[in-house]
Structure 1
C-alpha cells in the first residue's frame, strides 16, 4: 500500500486533508448532539473525539507520516493515503466461518464461493474481495454489492477508499462508524482482531489501547482491512439476526440483503426493523441522517409516520442497490 508524507504534499492537498479531518471532528460532535448523545451500544453508536485525543486532528498530524514505501507497490487509494506511519498490511490467522446460514452460502451458490466479476474500474479490488470471501464464507459478489451501496464514488464510478459521511464518523469502503470498527477489533474471531493483537493494540483484557485508536481507525481507509471487516461484520450480523428468531430465505441474494440490513442499521436495529419495526423517533433520526432533514420531512409527511417513511426508503434502497448478481461471474441465476 502506497503512502505519502504530509510534508511532501502540495499546500492545497495538505490543506484539504487537514480541513477534512477538522470538519469530521466537528460533524461527529454535532451528530451526537442531534441524536442526544445516548450510548446505544456497539451497533451504530459513536462518540466524538476532542482535539488532542488519539484519532483526532492533532493525532493525525503526528501519526500519518509514511516512511516505508514498498518498491513498485500499487495503491487503490491514490496519493491521499491516510494510513499510519510505518504501516504494512498484516496477514492474521485465518478464521474459519462459523456454522449456520453464512457458512452455507457457498453451498447454496452451486457448491463454491462465487468469483467476483463486473467490477469495471473497481477490478483492482477483486483479489481482496475473493480472499475475504474464501476466508469468511460470504460470497465476493455480496461483499462487492455492500461496498457499492456504502462507498462514495468518484466521477468515473470507482469506489472512493476515502469515503466519509459528513453527518457521522462513518468512513472507508464499508462506512464503519468509529465505535463499530473498534468493536470489531475487540471481538475475537475477526480479521481485525487478529491484526490488532499482532500490532499490540489490545490490552490484557482485549480492549483497544487509547494510544492505538488513531492507527486502528485509520485502517478503515485500507482496502484489505475494510473488505475483510465488511465480510466479518456481514457474517456476524446474519448470524445475530437469524439467531434472534427472524426467519428469512436462505438463498444468497436474500442473505446478501440481510447482511446489508445489519451493516446499515447495526444488528440490534436490524432485528427491531424486521420484528415489529423501529420507533418513529429512531426512524426519523436515521432517515434524516441518510437523506437530510428536508427530504426526510417530506417523506414522513407523505407516508404518515417516520417509521413507514424510513421503511419504504430503506426497502427500496436495498432492493435497488444490493444486487450481488451484478458482481458475479456466475450470473444472475446463482442469485435467483
Structure 2
C-alpha cells in the first residue's frame, strides 16, 4: 500500500532529502520520520524548546543525543564523536557534538536509530509490534516512560497522567493539562499525543515502521562520513 503523505508546501528540500537518506540508511519508514520531524519541529532543524534542552529537527534533549551518538555514531560517520564521549569529552567537545542536532542529515539518521531502539524495547515490554503512536510516545517520554504510560493506561485509563509522569508534565503543561488547569487523563494525553503524529502521516495508517527481520542495512553515506571525519580533524586539532 502506498503511503499518503501530505507534504508541507514550504518544506526545505534539503530536510526532505535528509529524511529520505535516513530512511534508507536505518530501515525506518520515511513516512514516520517525516511525520515525527513535522510534529516535533515543523521541519525546522534550528528549532529549540523553551522548557527543556530539546533542540533540532527531532528535538533531542542533550542527554539523549549524547547517548545516541555514543551508541550509534560509528555507523554514520561520527566515530570520532562516539570515541570522544566514551573517553570523557570536554565541555567544548560535547557542545560541538550537541550542535550536530541542527544538521538535518545527522539528526535524521540518529532519529532512525532512536526509533529502532525504541521499537525493540516496546515490543519486548508489550509483547506486540510497536505502532506509530507508541513510537511517538517513546520519542516524547522516552521508551521507559512510554512503556510505563501504556501499561498504566491499559489498567487505569482515567488516571491523571501528570501523577504518573510529573517531570514530563512540568515540561509539557499544555499536553498534560486542560486550559482551565485540570489534569488530563492517561487516555486523553494518549489521544492528544497520538493525534500529533497521525495527522502528519496522511490518510492511511503508517504501515510497517521497521523492515522485516534480517533485512540488510545500507551503509552510511560516504559523503556524510567524509564531512564528519573532517569535522573530527578540526575538533581534535583545536584541542591540541
TM-score after normalising by structure 2:
0.70
Q: In structure 2, what is the Cα distance between the partners aligned to 1:323 and 1:192?
A: 34
Instruction: Please give the root-mean-square deviation of Cα atoms over the aligned residues, in Å.
Output: 3.2
Matched, 1:178 2:62: yes
Q: In structure 2, what is the Cα distance between the partners aligned to 1:208 and 1:196?
A: 16
Structure showing greater radius of gyration is 1
| Alignment deviations for residues 75-106 of structure 1 (CA, whole Å, 9 cap, x no partner) | xxxxxxxxxxxxxxxxxxxxxxxxxxxxxxxx
* Counterpart contact for 2:6–2:201, Cα < 8 Å: no
Q: In structure 2, what is the Cα distance between the partners aligned to 1:274 and 1:176?
A: 22
- Structure with the bigger RCO (C-alpha within 8 Å, sep 6+) is 2
Shift of 1:282: 4.1
Match of 2:106 among 225, 234, 252: 225
Which residue does the alignment assign to 2:227? Answer: none
Task: Sort the Cα spacing of 1:333 and 1:115 in 2 relative to 1 into closer, same or farther, 3 A.
Answer: closer
Q: In structure 2, what is the Cα distance between the partners aligned to 1:318 and 1:214?
A: 32
Shift of 1:240: 0.8
* Counterpart contact for 1:161–1:173, Cα < 8 Å: yes
* Counterpart contact for 1:161–1:221, Cα < 8 Å: yes
Which residue does the alignment assign to 2:204? Answer: 332
Matched, 1:120 2:9: yes
TM-score after normalising by structure 1:
0.51
Q: How does 1:1-336 map to 2 (within 5 A)?
A: 118-124=7-13, 125-151=15-41, 153=42, 159-187=43-71, 190-191=72-73, 194-197=76-79, 199=80, 202-203=83-84, 206-207=86-87, 209-210=89-90, 211-248=92-129, 255-277=131-153, 280-291=162-173, 295=178, 298-300=181-183, 308=185, 310-323=186-199, 325-326=201-202, 332=204, 335=207
Q: In structure 1, what is the Cα distance between the partners aligned to 2:20 and 2:142?
A: 24
Matched residue of 2:131: which SS? Answer: helix
Shift of 1:225: 1.0
| Alignment deviations for residues 45-84 of structure 1 (CA, whole Å, 9 cap, x no partner) | xxxxxxxxxxxxxxxxxxxxxxxxxxxxxxxxxxxxxxxx
**Greater helix fraction, Structure 1 or Structure 2:** 2
Q: In structure 1, what is the Cα distance between the partners aligned to 2:44 and 2:150?
A: 31
